[in-house]
């Protein structure tokens, strides 16, 4: 069945692989968003069913800019809030901008993109991509206090949204990812080798986005090979 899918943070890493997977089904129509629209246009030009738009989650007017991008769509079936900003710095070295921009990209703008998408959703699935660092009781890493607290807020938003929309056919769930081999991970932890590739993580997310909303709503799910 034809689905319209919005992927935020699609220029590299897991988001790029998510779009690749959705685009293989030519019945899907995909809207790919990030700051690097040139890279998205270059990489996704092989697909006729992908449209790329520039959206800066760290910029102004995210809700109105997203609303303008979505205005040409009849409806949105799946929204994947995948974009993320990771700052790895000792707590006392974090600047005001480090903290503010982490929260802006990882939670404030996710909420505003979701507000915009809701004008096109009567049913469907919103998948928030959080981190194991934001999952209560998980192993924590020094240097990630701006990143992981903002990802914890994304988990909390999932529960609060789901309460407010519990009588609707819109499901929101949150996946707390463990380490996956991407540019973000390589920049933050040079030399670290993750047990999962971006492509494999994307496979899980795509399957989840397509079907899990039949059974679960408002859940915060760890997606990790390590314990706890």
Ligand X SMILES: NC(=O)c1ccc[n+]([C@@H]2O[C@H](COP(=O)([O-])OP(=O)(O)OC[C@H]3O[C@@H](n4cnc5c(N)ncnc54)[C@H](OP(=O)(O)O)[C@@H]3O)[C@@H](O)[C@H]2O)c1
Give one word for 204, left, alpha or beta, with left for phi > 0 and alpha for psi -120 to 50: alpha
Tell me which stretch binds ligand X (CB under 6 A): 92-100, 163-171, 176-184, 211-219. Answer: 176-184
Tell me which stretch binds ligand X (CB under 6 A): 19-27, 117-125, 157-165, 175-183. Answer: 175-183
* Shortest spacing between CB 57 and ligand X, in angstroms: 4
* Cβ 14 vs Cβ 130: under 8 Å: no
Expressed in angstroms, the distance from the first to the final Cα of the chain is 38
* Cβ 69 vs Cβ 33: under 8 Å: yes
Kindly state the number of chain residues that form the binding site for ligand X, as judged by CB under 6 A: 31
* Shortest spacing between CB 167 and ligand X, in angstroms: 29
Q: Which residues pair with 220 in a beta bridge?
A: 174
Q: Supply the DSSP string of 160-187, one letter for each residue.
A: HHHHHTTTSEEEEEEEEE---BSHHHHH
**Rounded distance between C-alpha atoms, residue 126 and residue 108, angstroms:** 16
Nearest to ligand X of 83, 170 (CB atom): 83
List binders of ligand X among 32-91 (CB under 6 A): 34-36, 55-58, 82-86
* Shortest spacing between CB 142 and ligand X, in angstroms: 16
Our finding on whether 9 is near ligand X (CB under 6 A) is yes
Nearest to ligand X of 2, 112 (CB atom): 112
* Shortest spacing between CB 195 and ligand X, in angstroms: 10
Our finding on whether 111 is near ligand X (CB under 6 A) is no
**Rounded distance between C-alpha atoms, residue 147 and residue 91, angstroms:** 11
SS3 state of residue 87: coil
* Shortest spacing between CB 70 and ligand X, in angstroms: 15
Q: Is the dihedral of CA 154, 21, 198, 109 positive or negative?
A: negative
Our finding on whether 158 is near ligand X (CB under 6 A) is no
Residues that bind ligand X (CB under 6 A): 9-15, 34-36, 55-58, 82-86, 105, 129, 131, 177, 179-180, 182-185, 194, 198
């Amino acid at each position: 069945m034809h689905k319209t899918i919005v992927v935020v943070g699609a220029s590299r890493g897991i988001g790029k692989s998510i779009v690749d997977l959705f685009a293989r089904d030519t019945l899907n129509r995909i809207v790919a968003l990030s700051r690097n629209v040139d890279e998205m246009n270059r990489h996704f030009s092989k697909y006729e069913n992908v449209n790329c738009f520039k959206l800066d989650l760290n910029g102004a007017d995210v809700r109105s800019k997203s609303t303008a991008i979505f205005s040409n769509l009849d409806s949105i079936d799946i929204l994947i809030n995948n974009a993320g900003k990771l700052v790895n710095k000792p707590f006392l070295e974090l600047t005001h901008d480090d903290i503010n921009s982490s929260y802006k990209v990882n939670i404030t703008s996710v909420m505003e993109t979701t507000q915009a998408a809701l004008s096109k959703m009567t049913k469907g699935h919103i998948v928030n991509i959080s981190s194991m660092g934001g999952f209560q009781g998980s192993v924590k890493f020094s240097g990630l206090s701006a990143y992981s607290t903002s990802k914890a807020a994304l988990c909390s938003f999932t529960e609060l949204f789901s309460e407010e929309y519990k009588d609707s056919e819109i499901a929101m769930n949150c996946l707390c990812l463990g380490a996956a081999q991407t540019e973000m991970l390589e920049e933050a932890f040079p030399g670290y080798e993750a047990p999962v590739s971006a492509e494999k993580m994307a496979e899980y997310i795509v399957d989840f986005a397509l079907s899990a909303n039949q059974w679960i709503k408002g859940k915060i799910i760890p997606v990790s090979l390590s314990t706890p």
